[in-house]
Amino acid sequence: MQRWGRFVYRHRVGVLLASLTCFVASGVGIVSGGQFKNSSSYNVESVNAFNLMTDQLPTASGTSFELIMRDRHLTYADGVFRDAVSSALAPLSRDSHVTHIETPYNATPQAAQSLISTDHHAVIATVSLNVDFGTARSLFAAIRSEVRSPTLVITAAGDVPIANDFDAHLASDLQRSELISLPLALILLVVVFGTGIAALLCLGVGVFAVIGGVASAALLTHAMDVSTYAVNVVTLIGLGVAIDYSLFVVSRFREELGKGVDVATALGTTMATAGRAIAFSGLTVAIGLAGLLFYTGTFLVSMGAAGAAVVAVSVLYALTFLPALLALLGPRVNKLRVPILQPRPFGQGTWHRVATWVMRRPWFVLLPTLAVLLIAGSPFLGIKLANGDVTQLPPDAESRLGAQMLVSDFPRAGQNTIPIVIDFSRGGPTQPANIAAAYELSRRVATIPGVVGVESYVDVDPRYVAATTYEQLYQTPPASLTPTVRNELSKSTGSRIAVLDVATPYLPASEQAHRLVRTIRGSDGLPGATVLVTGDTAFDIDLVNFMVGHTPLAVIFVMVTTFLVLLLLLRSVVLPVKAVLMNVLSLSAAFGALVWVFQQGHLSSLLDFTAQPLDPSIPVLLFCIVFGLSMDYEVFLLTRMQEAYRRGASNRRAVADGLERSGRLVTGAAAIMICVFVAFALASVVTIKSLGLGMAVAIAVDATLVRALIVPALMRLLGRVNWWAPRWLRERGAEEPLPEAA
């Protein structure tokens, strides 16, 4: 790394031009990227059943949405109401993407009843499109703008409007967060450095890294499905990591210049110390994000890949673009000084006094601090998990209001539907034996408490009270069937499957709906067929079980691999173990805060969200992201302590010197990260809001209670044991003295 620093100094113009070329390429990558989308292909029952439906049922594409049209005074039967509906929908009938619009006025009598509200003041218009879901999602805003009425209140509902609202709110959240976090980060950087040039350097590298990370995520869409949350999370990680890394590099460079050495030597020493620490720190962050790769088939895999990409870009710019700029600027990096913000001389700083005070009374500090962190994390013991739904959107989002209207005003249309997929092993669904099996299952399911109806090709006429009637019915040519029967047969059967749509008033994420799905799954099977349950409730159950089942392996991988990397960096067995345990403490407080705020509902009115069980992806994302980010501070703190210890300082002196030299920077870096994360905690989408808040709490705890109090107290108690390593590791890791000590 020292040789690399000297290389960058000699070829600073070339390195700078190469970095700028990468920046331009990032802009091209963003423009040429594909579409972001959430997908699920993990091996669970609900996903496998849904895939069967998608493959064999043309109606499973999901390219339709509902428009709820309400008049406060008139009822649906009034001619003026009907004319207003027709007038509002007229532009859609001329839209080339719209294939059919179903309203109570053109639907069959049976279907029309589900499209009329209980108070008769509202109707549903179901708009069918001739494009796939991804295209419908991007076109929806334009299609929705065509529908207007001076008298009707119109609200969109369904999966397409929900997806469109998520896209719009995520984009708005990202823009707002950047507008808040970037100016705050600049102010804090000026406070930390006391100079404007150094602050601008760090902020510039942060912006470069985020653009590079977003470009990487956009290009990944050509190779895999990348989550719609990826851009927000990449920005969240990239801003924090890149600014932190730049802060440590610039600070060390200024420190070396202050010793009177030339620019080349200062840059070489900076790369040998801060640069080396950054390389290892980036590796630990990437390891944390690699934990997301264990959730194969979920959107978390793309989040891990995109997050690792932005970390790699951050490290790359911190080791190329930034040192090249420093080589060009030299002592001018200290320009635009703010006199009142200059740091005190070494040995007189606040952090030196804090470390000395803590190490005089380690038990007095350690035990109460541990108790506070354990109490802060205790709410996590009562965590409840459920798959996120439309309530992740703010309360005033149109699609969320539409979903609530469907449930409250249209009992039949807004009912929770639990599809049961029967996969026949012999013959198609209209074979007599298979009809009998489907009929028997339908009647059995209809008797389960909580089921209000079953819709399928063996339930088209309540007068048919025997399976043999349906066997005779489907032996006739399809063309001779009535339109109602023919439509149901087309909608609910494929070449090898049949679908029973089970209706229940229970909300998808409710415990009653969960019990109902478990009851259906636990009932007797069918001879010659496999019975699978899907739908929102089944997805909810399966996702939580999938996440919980894969988490232990992911956690073990992250912790063990991080330990090994730190073992190589620090050449100590004890310090990596302590570092991993310290991260667990920081995370426990963050997890406790998540449950206390978002599940129990504290601060819900202030942060504008609805209290609900946590989406299972949120604790996973928080662990994998924060575990690596928190390790940043541990790496920089311990490497400074290690430097002092290697130069002959005692354990206590090394701890005090290391904390003083890194304390101001760690505090400043943490403050910048917290500002970035709090800006994202103000987002309107609950997933981003909860991640921002959880990460802010974790970093705040990590940089204060853990690094300033627990770490020096533990290191004082452990003494020389901190630095113990087996002989093979010491010999293998023997290094030349640092340039300062040479």
Provide the greatest CA pair distance for the chain: 98
One-letter-per-residue 3-state SS of 17-44: HHHHHHHHHHHHHHHHCCCCCCCCCCCC
| 381 has a pLDDT exceeding 60 | yes
In this structure, are residues 1 and 270 in contact, taking their beta carbons and an 8 Å threshold? no
According to DSSP H, which parts of 57-106 are helical?
A: 79-93
Class of domain 60-163: alpha beta
409 C-beta neighbours (distance < 10 Å), count: 18
What pLDDT score does 490 carry? 86
d(CA 248, CA 667): 12
Which of the two residues, 191 and 313, has the higher pLDDT score?
313
| 731 has a pLDDT exceeding 50 | no
What pLDDT score does 532 carry? 95
pLDDT tens-digit map of 340-367: 555 555 455 677 788 888 888 889 989 9
DSSP code of residue 530:
E
Confidence of residue 11 (pLDDT cuts 50, 70, 90): very high
pLDDT tens-digit map of 539-568: 999 999 999 999 999 999 999 998 988 888
What pLDDT score does 58 carry? 65
pLDDT tens-digit map of 646-658: 888 888 888 888 8
- Provide the edge-to-edge strand list for the sheet that holds 416-424: 453-455, 497-504, 416-424, 529-533
Give the mean pLDDT of 201-226.
Answer: 91
What pLDDT score does 348 carry? 54
pLDDT tens-digit map of 524-535: 888 889 999 999
β-pair type (153-157, 64-70): antiparallel
In this structure, are residues 29 and 218 in contact, taking their beta carbons and an 8 Å threshold? yes
In this structure, are residues 465 and 474 in contact, taking their beta carbons and an 8 Å threshold? no
| 572 has a pLDDT exceeding 50 | yes
What pLDDT score does 569 carry? 80
Which of the two residues, 667 and 77, has the higher pLDDT score?
77
d(CA 370, CA 383): 21
251 C-beta neighbours (distance < 10 Å), count: 24
What pLDDT score does 659 carry? 82
Confidence of residue 739 (pLDDT cuts 50, 70, 90): very low
What are the C-alpha distances in Å from 235 to residues 280, 417, 648? 21, 37, 42
**Residues with Cβ < 8 Å from 21, sequence gap 6 or more?**
none
Per-domain boundaries in the chain? 60-163, 398-540
Give the mean pLDDT of 624-631.
Answer: 83
d(CA 268, CA 275): 9
φ, ψ at 612 (rounded to 5°) = -165, 165
In this structure, are residues 418 and 533 in contact, taking their beta carbons and an 8 Å threshold? yes
pLDDT tens-digit map of 222-275: 888 888 888 888 988 888 889 889 988 998 899 899 888 999 999 999 999 889
Among 493, 537, 536, 637, CA closest to 579:
637
Residues of the chain with pLDDT > 70: what percent?
A: 96
What are the C-alpha distances in Å from 198 to residues 2, 195, 265, 335, 644? 22, 6, 19, 8, 26
Mind giving me the DSSP string for 572-623? -SHHHHHHHHHHHHHHHHHHHHHIIIIIT-TTHHHHT----PBPTHHHHHHH
In this structure, are residues 470 and 493 in contact, taking their beta carbons and an 8 Å threshold? no
pLDDT tens-digit map of 46-90: 999 999 998 888 654 458 899 999 999 999 999 999 999 999 999
What pLDDT score does 343 carry? 55
pLDDT tens-digit map of 582-606: 888 889 999 999 999 999 999 888 8
d(CA 138, CA 35): 9
Residue whose structure tokens are 């901190």: 722
β-pair type (529-533, 453-455): unpaired
| 517 has a pLDDT exceeding 60 | yes
d(CA 550, CA 294): 7
Sign of CA dihedral 584, 590, 593, 595: negative
Please give the distance of CA 673 from its chain centroid, rounded to a whole number: 17
d(CA 125, CA 104): 8
Which of the two residues, 155 and 658, has the higher pLDDT score?
155
Chain mean pLDDT for the chain: 87
What pLDDT score does 612 carry? 87
DSSP code of residue 2:
H
| 626 has a pLDDT exceeding 90 | no
What pLDDT score does 733 carry? 42
**Residues with Cβ < 8 Å from 36, sequence gap 6 or more?**
217, 221, 226, 227, 228, 230, 231
Residues of the chain with pLDDT > 90: what percent?
A: 42
pLDDT tens-digit map of 114-135: 899 999 999 999 999 888 887 8
Give the mean pLDDT of 442-459.
Answer: 92
What pLDDT score does 524 carry? 81
0.75 surpassed by pTM: yes
